[in-house]
Structure 1
Amino acid sequence: MTAATETNKFNAGWRSGRGERFGGVDKGLSDWLGLLIQLCLCRFFAGLLVLLQSSSYVTRADHDSRPNFVLMMVDDLGIGDIGCYGNDTISTPNIDGLAADGVRLTQHLAAAPLCTPSRTAFMTGRYALRAGLGSTGRVQVILFLAGSGGLLPNETTFAKLLQKQGYTTGIVGKWHLGVNCESRNDHCHHPNNHGFDFFYGLPFTNFNDCKPGAGKGVLVDVQETLWQISVLLTLASLTLLAARASGLLRVSWTLVAFLAAMSLLSFAAWFVPFELLRTWNCIIMRNGEVVEQPLKLETLNMINNHVIYVVRHKDGPFLLFLSLAHVHTPLFVSEGFTGKSKHGLYGDNVEEVDWMVGKMMETIARLGLSEKTMMYFTSDHGGHIEEGPKGGWNGIYRGGKAMGGWEGGIRVPGIFRWPGRLNPGREVAEPTSLMDVFPTVVKLAGGALPEDRYNTSESIFKVHFFTPNFSPAGAVGCYHTGVCMCHRPFVTYHNPPLVFELSRDPSESRPLSPDTEPRLAEVLERVKRAVTEHRRTLAPVEKQLTWTKVLWKPWLQPCCGTFPFCSCEESNHTSAAAE
């Protein structure tokens, strides 16, 4: 039995197709390892492009033109929320039709279980760690639109490479990879600086603070602490002032003034960045201009703009990245989908997503572009199970959003459709990754791949060096904190790491042991060597998720109007052009 054949028995375990899946350990390795969730071994594997172009999946390989690309990504969608992946109560006929007409991936993996690092990896074809956007600290995503962290200007995205091949490139929807570095208008992290000719959407993300009455979503514990400090300092200064006025205590005016000043500062530190979050973070931009502040997501402007983009660039070649703000909380739908599903507002969200996918397919067909366009559908990571009925369902897979390497947080839908090129109704069981889209799109567009993607593996084991501590005990989720944290004291380290065989244990309930798998020691030794090799390839990069990078900076705040009185509203129309 060959080594490759033997390792195939760890099909859970064993994943072929990518070379950068790592985990973090407690001792001997730096903190960055904690975010990465796979271990790579062995030889180069050609990946998704080979799978899609093999004779099993392609009907005609002698195509005479480069395709257009429509890449559709949903936010926080669980793999169990879609009909073609097993859901029989939420209606998704258009997504199911996309799969029936194309190729469905059954082991499609996000590079991280959170928005910012997953989208970084998707855009660049390599782990977010290499772009400075991987973290195991308190902050793992961009928290403020007016922070200075984000996707560095020197990063290579697939959009930049397609621009060089003559493609018109656009993104409609969510970005969440930063905007500015040093001034309000430098736009160093902006989509227009990363290969996209056109941008319309959320430069940040949709989160609870964007919807009045939906609660708070950013650093809730910090907000509460600042508020409590402000209240205590105010009470202390008022008490001392009353004591001095009544003659009970001889208190200096300096002390009273100092406490009052500190009270005002702590109140400002709470009120300005946090209580005004809806104004600061929740905006819509068209290219570099703020056109709506705060945003109103119930309108149809997103769908209007992505349809207009395709119509205007129908002569191609074009790339459209439709990055939906659905189904991230707070949930929102347009009027026609309210109460439509059997699963409340979350089900309404999923069904509106399906309608938007159908609208995109209809537009492509109406323009006669179906056989000239590769369409792709996925989610950035698994569903947010701590949200209960407002969060997604990850099917049989354990865990979800923000839960490290548990399968429920990283296994996502993956559907490709290209009529006349891909055989309809096929399935790909081989493991694939969101990062595989980068080389697939670039090669099909006729571009050359960068030499620093480090895709050097064939056999891959997924191991858990640490796992989140679920709370309350017995739950599968971190309900006390809203999402699982990735640092002490919120995790348990495993030495040796946990290894599962997903082919027989897809819910990851029975870790392998020397008794159940005699070759486990050999596997872990190869894992150790793979980690060492991975560390050797890392180059220094400026970290983008430090506190100094992510905290709100007023001089970086995008604003329509005169700061701090930022306010503008865009009408629900179809005349706005995607130039």
Structure 2
Amino acid sequence: MTVTSKRPNIIFIVADDLGFADLGCYGGRDADFGPVSPVLDSLAADGLKFTQGYSNSPVCSPTRFALMTARYQYRLRGAAEEPINSKSKGSTTLGLPPEHPTLPSLLRGAGYRTALIGKWHLGYPPAFSPLKSGYEEFFGPMSGGVDYFSHCSNNGTHDLYFGDEEKHEEGYLTDLISHRAVDYVGRMAKGDAPFFLSLHYTAPHWPWETRDDAHLAAEVKDNLFHLHGGNIHTYRRMIHHMDEGIGWLMAALKKHGMDRDTLVVFTSDNGGERFSDNWPLVGGKMDLTEGGIRVPWIAHWPAAIAPGGVTGQQCMTMDWSATMLEAAGVAANPAYPLDGVSLLDVLKQPSRTFKRALYWRMNHRGQRAMRDGDWKYLRVDGHDYLFNLPADERERANHAGRDPARLARMRDDWEAWNTTMPAIPEDATVSLGYGAKDMPQR
């Protein structure tokens, strides 16, 4: 296939709390209304699907630190809070430092137009905001989750912004985000510069509301976690609304003749929560078991990616940020070397896989994990596990006693990696309101 030398437009789509098997192309079941994700399934069929892709964290904001910096989130104090919540308002430490180079700031410095449409969740103004970290435009919520109709966060305050100013706008948030993205593409089509669009949906994050559930807003506003509400039918419809919006976006790219030269990447910020389907994986959000960190990764770029590809290349969020920089021909800031490894060669030729180790750590339950080839080392609540994932993706057959030498070697590797990261501050906290208290514990 002919690979273009033209700098691509880049659209980075991130769902929120989507399970590994929620999409049809990852084995998800049809809903009562039919296929849940026909647009994303089509993007996977016409592009490249990763089966062994991960998020940098099993919870929202730490993954977003890694996405923005292409570095392990543990390097930044703000990411030690799991995740940042409304109590962080006014903090000058719990957020993405404006002086830190980011994916959008590096691209913007190289001539890209940049916008974030959707969720930020990397600290609150005045100390932090998307406009301080490389984005020219921002529309969306600052916090982790908001009601889809009133656009209020879990402390009851309105949380929908245009730039750094509050923006009151009626409508279902998923649709508002999608329509803004379509409008942005239309405006960018009139210029000559390539663009980078972060399209960060809140769907299918709680509260559990579809496009037709405006009547629930008054009830949900004071109970944003919606512990007594929701069901799999609502949840699947929420994914479908997001999928429809992505369809509107792809139609806009095609209308303006931009679809061939636009790299579109889709993923989730972490594993699924209460109503998600993670099969065959175990666990979910807040867990370093596979269900908490293995997520869909779909790449679509007709100028460079052949259709119908599937790869077992292991990767995590920060690798995709490094990939986008390389695709745009933009170098990292030498004072902030990347931890992410570019996947560009894999996108262009899926047989060019390479080996690398992946590492995680999590305050919650003293979790740590490492993926190295077929093997995974995991610690939860002080207990060590060793799993051969191709043979046991459900992480049930613990080889720790059977292969102590491998366990010791991987544990030593994790410890050596951990010494290269800042220690977890003693005052760092974990917010369990984001779903862990409702997930089955290992």
Same fold (TM over 0.5): yes
2:202 counterpart letter in structure 1 = A
SS at 2:237 equivalent: helix
How far apart are the structure 1 equivalents of 2:314 and 2:208? 31
Tell me: CA distance 1:318–1:462, structure 2 relative to 1, closer, same or farther (3 Å).
closer
Provide the secondary structure at the position in 2 that maps to 1:311: helix
Closer/same/farther in 2, CA of residues 296 and 357 from structure 1, 3 Å limit: closer
> For each residue in 1:51-94, what CA deviation from the matched residue of structure 2 results, as whole angstroms up to 9, or x when unmatched?
xxxxxxxx223x23100001111111111110000013132110
Deviation at residue 189 of structure 1 after TM alignment: 1.3
> Within 1, Cα distance between the matches of 2:362 and 2:385?
7
Aligned residues of 2:318 and 2:340 also touching (Cα < 8 A): no
Contact conserved, 1:298 with 1:332, CA < 8 A, in 2?
no
Contact 1:75 1:326 in 2 (8 A): yes
Tell me if 1:107 matches 2:46: no
Q: Residue 159 in 1 paired to residue 159 in 2?
A: no
Does 2:148 align with 1:286? no
Q: What is the alpha-carbon distance in structure 1 between the residues aligned to residue 427 and residue 139 of structure 2?
A: 24
1:85 aligned partner: 26
SS at match of 1:395: coil
- 1:146 matched to which residue of 2? 89
Are the aligned partners of 2:203 and 2:242 in contact in 1 as well (CA < 8 Å)? yes
Q: Deviations over 1:6-48 (max 9, x none)?
A: xxxxxxxxxxxxxxxxxxxxxxxxxxxxxxxxxxxxxxxxxxx
CA distance in 2, matches of 1:466, 1:145: 18
Shift of residue 542 of structure 1? 8.6
| Equivalent residue number for residue 128 of structure 1 | 73
1:346 aligns with 2:235: yes
2-structure distance, mates of 1:427, 1:327: 25
SS class of match (1:328): coil
Shift, 1:154, TM fit: 2.2
Matched residue of 1:109: which SS? coil
Q: What SS does structure 2 have at the residue aligned with 1:200?
A: strand
| Structure 1 position 367, deviation (Å) | 0.6
Give the gaps of 5 or more residues in structure 1. 1-58, 181-186, 219-276, 386-390, 470-486, 548-579
5+ residue gaps, structure 2, are 216-230, 342-353, 367-378, 431-442
Of 88, 92, 95, which residue of structure 1 is paired with 2:40? 95
Match of 1:169 among 114, 117, 142: 114
Q: Deviations over 1:216-273 (max 9, x none)?
A: 996xxxxxxxxxxxxxxxxxxxxxxxxxxxxxxxxxxxxxxxxxxxxxxxxxxxxxxx
For 2:138, the equivalent position in structure 1 comes to 199
Q: Give the whole-Å Cα distance in 1 for the aligned partners of 2:65 and 2:171.
A: 26
Aligned to 1:273: none
The one-letter code sitting in structure 2 at the alignment partner of 1:327 is P
- Superposed CA deviations along residues 364-422 of structure 1, whole A, max 9, x for unmatched, are 1111001110011111011113xxxxx2111110100011x100010111000001310
Q: Could you tell me which residue of structure 2 aligns to residue 428 of structure 1?
A: 311
Match of 1:357 among 225, 246, 254: 246
SS in 2 for 1:278: coil
Tell me: CA distance 1:506–1:380, structure 2 relative to 1, closer, same or farther (3 Å): same
In structure 2, the CA distance between the partners of 1:464 and 1:192, relative to structure 1 (3 Å rule), is: closer
The correspondence of residues 230-309 of structure 1 with structure 2, limited to 5 A, is 277-279=155-157, 282-292=158-168, 297=172, 300-309=175-184
Max radius of gyration: which structure?
Answer: 1
CA distance in 2, matches of 1:544, 1:446: 40
Q: Which residue of 1 aligns with 2:264?
A: 375
Tell me: CA distance 1:296–1:203, structure 2 relative to 1, closer, same or farther (3 Å): farther
Query: Which residues in structure 2 correspond to 1:561-572 (within 5 Å)?
Result: none
Does the 8 A contact of 2:51 with 2:297 survive in 1? Answer: yes
Distance (whole Å) between structure 2 residues aligned to residue 466 and residue 206 of structure 1: 21
2:196 to 312, 319, 340: 319
Paired residue for 2:437?
Answer: none
Q: Which amino acid aligns with 2:13?
A: M
Q: Deviations over 1:426-466 (max 9, x none)?
A: 01111111111111111111111234224599442779999
Q: Matches of residues 488-503 of structure 1 in structure 2 within 5 Å?
A: 492-494=381-383, 497-503=384-390
C-alpha spacing 1:328/1:526, structure 2 compared with 1 (3 Å): closer
CA, structure 1 residues 508+413, in 2 after alignment: closer, same or farther (shift >3 Å)? same
Structure 1 Cα separation of the partners of residues 247 and 20 of structure 2: 19
- Mark the CA change 1:533 to 1:397 in structure 2 (over 3 Å): closer, same or farther: closer
Match of 1:153, SS state, is coil
Structure 1 contact 462–499 (Cα < 8 Å) conserved? no
In structure 1, C-alpha distance between the alignment counterparts of 2:396 and 2:325, rounded to whole Å:
39
* Distance 1:97-1:454 versus aligned 2 partners, 3 A rule: closer
Q: Which residue does the alignment assign to 1:402?
A: 286
Aligned-partner SS, 2:138 = strand
User: Is the CA contact 2:174–2:202 (under 8 Å) kept in the aligned structure 1?
Assistant: no
Q: 1:290–1:543: structure 2 CA closer, same or farther, 3 Å change rule?
A: farther
Q: Is the 8 A contact 1:114 1:141 kept in 2?
A: no
Distance 1:437 1:543 in 2: 31
Kindly report the root-mean-square deviation, in angstroms, between the aligned alpha carbons of the 2 structures: 3.3
AA matched with 2:2 = R
Q: Shift of residue 207 of structure 1?
A: 4.5
Residue 278 of structure 2 aligns to a residue whose secondary structure is coil
Structure 1 stretches of 4+ moved >4 Å: 455-459, 461-469, 539-547
Q: What displacement does 1:514 show? A: 4.1
> Normalised by the size of structure 2, how large is the TM-score?
0.78
Structure 2 CA distance, aligned partners of 1:189 and 1:466? Answer: 24
Task: Figure out how many residues of one structure are paired with residues of the other and give that number.
Answer: 381
Q: Does 1:444 align with 2:327?
A: yes
Aligned to 2:357: 460
